[in-house]
Amino acid sequence: MKHHTRQRQAILKCLDQAKGPLSPQEILVRAREKVEGMGIATVYRNLKSLEKEGMVRELALSGEGARYEKSGLTHHHHFFCRGCNKFYCVEGCPREISFMVPRGFVMEEHEIVLYGKCSECCGNRPV
Amino acid sequence: MKHHTRQRQAILKCLDQAKGPLSPQEILVRAREKVEGMGIATVYRNLKSLEKEGMVRELALSGEGARYEKSGLTHHHHFFCRGCNKFYCVEGCPREISFMVPRGFVMEEHEIVLYGKCSECCGNRPV
DNA sequence: ATACTTGCAAAAGTTTTGCAGGTTA
DNA sequence: TAACCTGCAAAACTTTTGCAAGTAT
């Protein structure tokens, strides 16, 4: 039987409030505002178990270590800002991409990542 | 002035002969067939410098650590096989994706990764 | 009470760096 | 010869694990 701990709830809340997937470190910093003294191991452990339960999804798309987001969101993709090294969720998808699958391969999922600068890092202010 | 060492040439040759981007470990194994006793540090160092020179491109798209490929290839994307944990290059691209870029953001690049099983891992033989 | 979680510290990976010796131009 | 590279080992990071103590049911 799973227990509902403050730490676990804090992690889920962080993911809820984020505009995009977060790294374990980002989660730690934010979750510590809610649960003082929380350890990084707890973050990793909870992310793993939440992933196993299907509540969270791991994304590894930037050369910066994995990010995590709630699962069950509507189909979407991501934008990685090279200025602030953050991910943002983006809507839309060019549906028809199965023509890219090589003969004999089976596609189960796809992921699209746009790289560039977010509006804040976009010239308005110095990076 | 850069020097042309056997190690550097071996790494480039491995990348030339591969069907998709390779991990540093994969490169080490293959390069050692050409240059006995080669060390992993040499692989990492060369990949970094080749990347800086613009000859090699880093991809980090699988939760499995970065992969590297020659740069200057024609625009293409990748398929990650969850059976053998290898990347394959795939042709084609649904050109029009700029509608996905959020207002105020600037897109510099995009990457598409298909996940699934390659033909070899696809039922024909047990994974 | 029992089962599950936590924080800490140690361990296991992966990537980077320092250095003495070797190689390239 | 001077500049650059290499292999090794140590260092730096990131992620996982063991364990005694704490918490949820």
Q: Could you report the per-residue pLDDT of A4-49, keeping only the tens digit for each?
A: 999 999 999 999 999 999 999 999 999 999 999 999 999 999 999 9
Residue A1 has pLDDT above 70, yes or no: no
Q: Is the pLDDT of residue A90 over 90?
A: yes
Q: Average pLDDT for residues B102-124, to the nearest whole number?
A: 92
Which is it for strands B86-90 and A67-70: parallel, antiparallel or unpaired?
unpaired
- Residue B63: the pLDDT is 74
d(CA A97, CA B92): 9
Is the pLDDT at A103 greater than 50, yes or no?
yes
Mean pLDDT over B21-50 rounds to 96
Report the candidate in A86, A19, A9, A72 with the shortest Cα–Cα distance to residue A46.
Answer: A9
Residue A106 is inside which H or E element, if any? strand A106-117
Token pair belonging to A21: 């997937």
A20-29, A58-67, B15-24, B80-89: least confidently modelled range: A58-67
Task: Please check the confidence at residue B68 and state whether its pLDDT lies above 70.
Answer: yes
Nearest to A23 by CA among A80, A73, A72: A80
Among chain B residues 61-80, those with CB within 7 Å of any atom of strand C: 65-66
pLDDT, residue B1, reads 61
Question: Which residue in chain B is spatially nearest to A114 when comparing CA positions?
Answer: B110
pLDDT at B93: 95
Per residue, the 3-state secondary structure of B60-71, as one string, reads CCCCCCCEEEEC
The values of phi and psi at residue B44, to 5°, are -60, -45
Please, what is the Cα angle at A37 between A33 and A43, to 5 degrees? Answer: 80
Categorize the per-residue pLDDT at B127 as very low, low, confident or very high, splitting at 50, 70 and 90: very low
Residue B6 has pLDDT above 90, yes or no: yes
How far apart CA B111 and CA B127 sit, in angstroms, is 28
The count of CB pairs under 8 A between chains A and B is: 139
The closest nt to A4, taking CA to C1', is D24
A105-123 confidence digits (pLDDT tens): 999 999 999 999 999 998 7
Measured CA to CA, the distance from residue B48 to residue B12 in angstroms comes to 13
Spell out which residues of chain B touch residue A93, defining contact as CB-CB under 8 Å.
100
pLDDT at A65: 84
Is residue B35's pLDDT more than 60?
yes
Round the average pLDDT of chain B to a whole number and report it. 92
Q: How far is the CA of B2 from the C1' of D3 (A)?
A: 9
Predicted pLDDT of residue B124: 60
C-beta atoms of A94 and B97 within 8 A: yes
**Residue A126 pLDDT grade (very low, low, confident, very high; cuts 50, 70, 90):** very low
Q: Quick one: pLDDT at residue A69?
A: 97
Name, in order, each residue with C-beta under 8 angstroms of B37's C-beta and a sequence gap of 6 or more: none
State pLDDT tens for residues A52-71. Answer: 999 999 998 777 789 999 99
